[in-house]
A and B are shown apart, each in its own frame.
Chain A
């Protein structure tokens, strides 16, 4: 299995950028391909990096054509694993091709708050906890097997934005650590519930 990695990103790609900055902690797994939902801040950032192929999609096209393009890129670059922080729903053809090798970071404690705007909804809810989930991507939106979560106690004295910063920073670490686990520990965990909930990467080594 190739360890070429692909990232599907929306917005400014703050999670993929975090992984890229810390790629050395992933034993330099090959950060190969970034597919952006459109020409956005993430596209500006990754398209300037040598050795990383960055492509912006065109969702004005027929959705099947976009899915075909994604698969074509994955095949061209021999992608082994796909990690998404993506606002678009991927087609069945993409999910099927990468079954068991495509994962998503979602900003809520799934199964609570699937879908868009989950971070805002969970921070503004009356729930005392909020967080992020890393899960296998399945055909049903945000319904795949949950492999890891970060659970945060809501500080009601803090503003919405302060809680949001805490969530993003902790979710970045979860994303990086779960990618490490998928790449280097999954062979030891097959068939058992998911992963050691402790961090596999030493927190002191992570660049923010």
Chain B
């Protein structure tokens, strides 16, 4: 799972940032809300899940996103 998330992360934010579980938006120069939402949508499709508006706004790190996916995968 983590490799798939990493792949989508690099597609959306580029390879300027070293991927890690602790990353937050402040660590990612190319982060903006539109790219972030596009990143989450790509994960929705990949893992057959839906992010709620609340989850999208409260997840702070890559690790938070991974935990959400694990908890909500079919």
Contacts and interface: CB of A to CB of B under 8 A. Distances in A.
Interface stretch (A51-59, A65-73, A96-104, A156-164): A156-164
A87 interface: no
Given A41-B25, A124-B53, A161 B33 contact: no
Interface in A107-154: 120, 123-124
B33 A14 contact: yes
Main secondary structure on B side of the interface with A: helix
Contacts of B51: 159-161
B37 A168 contact: yes
Interface residues of A, number: 16
A11 B37 CA distance: 14
Interface residues of B, number: 15
B2 interface: no
B37 A165 contact: yes
A173 to B, nearest CB: 13
B4 interface: no
Contacts of A165: 34, 37-38, 41
Interface of B: 25, 31-34, 37-38, 40-41, 44, 50-53, 56
Interface of A: 11-12, 14, 17, 41, 120, 123-124, 159-162, 164-165, 168-169
